[in-house]
């Protein structure tokens, strides 16, 4: 079957397509991804089409956001299958550059948002969010779309991108899209494919602990005690590492001692060899 979705692979081609739509009076939404698309990614496209007339997605597995011992080489890739999924939800264009296009010889510029990248995931993935900010800045500048949509599962990433776009006057409005979960509550993630059947079942302890911790805090339990109970739940499920379970300000991501408007419960840990993240609003 011929794939109906147009694919471009250079910044010039992407920018020309976006400008052509904008010249027709159409608003354009950009949805950056690393591929291996699932229903959560497709929800970003659907959200984009509520904010704009045309949706453009990008697929680029960004080497600059992977640490030396992370899963860059085995990260799932299926451009042809992803393109068909994108076309099925109304995406009009796929931008799929290669590494040499994104980071040509002599590339020497990086974007860093001070403070926020050093918290939460940044404590165990040093440099990760510098790679994220750099690649997203390049994508936003290349597309010059009216809006861009990112998933709220990566809440820290979303907060960093919002800060960067505002600080650098990029001009593209940044929107979040609610977490899409499987039928049993596990947040959808491309890395869920790494989980064995047993690990997949035990991974439910993370969203369940977030829900129980939120209920305890709302019910009046001191935050520290509620977090400690949640940590015990996650560890008892067999997570080999709990990176954090924290109540934070949703914008600054600094820990807070009591619930307040905009606060979020953030959790991350490793089960088997797979690192999972999740969060919920208070």
- Residues taking part in catalysis: 41
CA distances in angstroms from 140 to 12, 136, 173, 213, 214, listed in the order given? 13, 6, 10, 37, 35
- Tokens read off for 21: 């739509």
- CA torsion 251-254-260-261 (nearest 10°) is 10
DSSP class of residue 78 equals -
With residue 40 as reference, give the H or E element that holds it. helix 39-51
Q: What is the three-class DSSP state of 200?
A: helix
- Contact call for residues 179 and 258 (beta carbons, < 8 A): no
- According to DSSP, the β-strands at 28-33 and 54-59 are parallel
| Contact yes or no for 277/207 (Cβ under 8 A) | no
* 8 Å CB contact between 247 and 282: yes
Q: List the beta bridge partners of residue 116.
A: none
Handedness of CA 153, 93, 24, 53 (dihedral sign): negative
DSSP label at residue 180: P
- The Cα–Cα gap between 164 and 136 comes to 9
């Amino acid at each position: 079957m011929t794939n109906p979705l147009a694919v471009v692979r250079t910044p010039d081609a992407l920018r020309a397509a976006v400008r052509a739509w904008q010249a027709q009076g159409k608003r354009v939404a950009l949805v950056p991804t690393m591929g291996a698309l699932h229903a959560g990614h497709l929800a970003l496209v659907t959200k984009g089409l509520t904010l704009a007339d045309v949706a453009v997605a990008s697929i680029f597995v960004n080497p600059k956001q992977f640490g030396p011992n992370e899963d860059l080489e085995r990260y799932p890739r299926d451009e042809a299958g992803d393109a068909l999924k994108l076309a099925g939800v109304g995406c009009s264009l796929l931008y799929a550059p290669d590494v040499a296009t994104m980071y040509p010889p002599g590339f020497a510029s990086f974007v860093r948002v001070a403070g926020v990248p050093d918290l939460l995931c940044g404590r165990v993935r040093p440099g990760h969010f510098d790679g994220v900010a750099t690649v997203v800045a390049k994508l936003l500048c290349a597309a010059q779309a009216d809006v861009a949509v990112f998933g709220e599962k990566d809440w820290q990433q979303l907060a960093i991108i919002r800060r960067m776009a505002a600080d650098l006057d990029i001009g593209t409005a940044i929107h979040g899209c609610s977490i899409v979960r499987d039928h049993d509550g596990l947040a959808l993630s491309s890395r869920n494919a790494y989980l064995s059947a047993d690990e997949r079942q035990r991974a439910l302890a993370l969203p369940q602990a977030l829900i129980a911790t939120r209920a305890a805090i709302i019910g009046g339990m001191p935050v520290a005690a509620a977090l400690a109970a949640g940590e015990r739940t996650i560890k008892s499920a067999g997570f080999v590492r709990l990176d954090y379970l924290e109540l934070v300000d949703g914008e600054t991501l600094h820990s807070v001692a009591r619930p307040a408007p905009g606060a979020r419960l953030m959790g991350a840990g490793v089960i088997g060899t797979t690192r999972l993240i999740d969060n919920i609003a208070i």
